[in-house]
Amino acid sequence: MTWIAAIASCAVLAACTAPTPPGAWQWDLPRGFPEPRVPDDNPMSQPKVDLGRRLFYDARLSGNQTQSCSSCHDQAHAFGDGRQTPIGSTGQSVRRNAMSLVNAAWNSVQTWANSTLLELEQQALVPMFGDRPVELGLAGMEAVLLDRLRAVAIYQGQFAAAFPGETDPFSIGNVARALAAFERTIISGRSPYDRFQAGDTRAISASAQRGMELTFSERLECHHCHSGFNLTNSYKDVDTAPEGFVHYFNTGLYNVDGQGGYPASDTGLVELTQQPKDMGRYRAPTLRNVGVTAPYMHDGSVATLEEVVDGYARGGRLIATGPDAGDGKLNPHKSVFVPGFAITPAERDDVVAFLRSLTDDELLTDPRLADPWR
């Protein structure tokens, strides 16, 4: 069963009973952040967020009970995992780098290159029930999972409080809803950069200030993909159209056949659309906390921020030898926003200093987001 079939098999998302009453949820939003859009059938509530947090850190959510959602989304790495690509609960490698979950509440689509995964509720089902590759390894174990959760005393009260009025609140749909509710509270907007924007002129160094000017300049073109309060163009809130805004980009990371090809193991959005123009196209992630989310790119193939800047400065990555050899600068599918640019070593250091100023230390240590089982 593929992850698409997994979602189809979990029609329980639509089959649950009446939605939870809205209650009086209050967003704790940083300065300049709009209110995120929340699905009508999954209104926010504190009991639901508390339940989702506990589930997020619970290894019962893997088939062999060795991993949880947090295994690939670690708070210390801004809810990424610090690996090139994750390893699933059965030892299988996952082909794409674990995206940070920070500010995912505003994403118009989830994951790197799947324009059908619009909501966190949908996305939560993929690692649980997908089998290509196996991540949490729960395919075919829906009943087993629910029996495990029912057997935990604290969950008896938490599921009832999160989904009041339901005869049996233990369902896969409610697990996904609770996880999504918690993930919407993983909010980052209190970095040194944010303090600088609020008027604290000493919040970031002179080097970072120069780097900020460069990053948002037409010379470097970064702002075309990394803009707005969340420094990404994948965005929706209560005021945007339901689909929000999203673009996918080919950044010239590969050109394995001299005609724009990406490695066959991962060709990007084209896998879904079957449109040649979508070869090597991926969603631009947020730059927030990028200093703690290395390695970079969809496949984790770029180790440092310095290498990232160098690749964009060149206008595409050159791989001289090996099975992926090719000149990404010559990729015919490459975005017009990756033309290359001249930059001195000192300017590159300034850009990196700015990127590191986007690290939100409060997020990385916030006890409200930490493992409640400890």
**pLDDT tens-digit readout, 96-130:** 999 999 999 999 999 999 999 999 999 999 999 99
Question: Candidates 2.40.30.10, 3.40.367.20, 1.10.760.10, 3.30.450.20; correct CATH number of 3-188+364-369?
Answer: 1.10.760.10
C-alpha–C-alpha distance, residues 56 and 71, integer Å: 9
Q: Say yes or no: do domains 3-188+364-369 and 192-361 share a fold.
A: yes
Residues 119-155: b if buried by 16+ CB within 10 A, e if exposed: bbbbbbbbbbbbbebbbbbbbebbeebbeebeeeeeb
Tell me what pLDDT residue 18 has. Answer: 37
Tell me what pLDDT residue 296 has. Answer: 98
Single-letter amino acid code for the residue at 3: W
What does each C-alpha distance from 314 to 15, 252, 281, 363 come to in angstroms? 51, 10, 18, 33
Reference 83, options 67, 100, 66, 68; nearest CA is 100
Domain-wise residue ranges, the chain: 3-188+364-369, 192-361
Give CA torsion, residues 221, 224, 229, 231, to 10 deg.
-70
Tell me what pLDDT residue 15 has. Answer: 37
Predicted confidence (pLDDT) per residue in 10-22, tens digit: 444 443 333 434 4
Tell me what pLDDT residue 1 has. Answer: 37
Tell me what pLDDT residue 238 has. Answer: 85
Contact criterion met (CB below 8 Å) for 275 and 313: no
Contact criterion met (CB below 8 Å) for 332 and 14: no
Answer yes or no: is pLDDT of 358 > 70: yes
C-alpha–C-alpha distance, residues 374 and 368, integer Å: 13
Answer yes or no: is pLDDT of 29 > 70: yes
Q: pTM of the predicted model, to two decimals?
A: 0.93
Q: Is 130 in a helix, a strand, or coil?
A: coil
C-alpha–C-alpha distance, residues 342 and 257, integer Å: 27
Answer yes or no: is pLDDT of 231 > 70: yes
**Residue 134 CA, distance from chain mean position:** 19
What does each C-alpha distance from 344 to 180, 208, 214, 292, 313 come to in angstroms? 43, 15, 12, 24, 10
Task: List, as one string, the DSSP characters of 229-255.
Answer: TTTSS-B--TTS-TT-B--EE--S---
Tell me what pLDDT residue 20 has. Answer: 38
Reference 61, options 156, 184, 172, 183; nearest CA is 172
Q: Is 295 in a helix, a strand, or coil?
A: coil
Tell me what pLDDT residue 237 has. Answer: 84
Class of the domain covering 192-361: mainly alpha
Query: In the chain, what is the greatest distance between 2 CA atoms, to the nearest angstrom?
Result: 65
Tell me what pLDDT residue 23 has. Answer: 52
Spell out the residues 6+ positions from residue 153 whose beta carbon is closer than 8 angstroms to its own: none
Reference 311, options 326, 329, 290, 293; nearest CA is 329
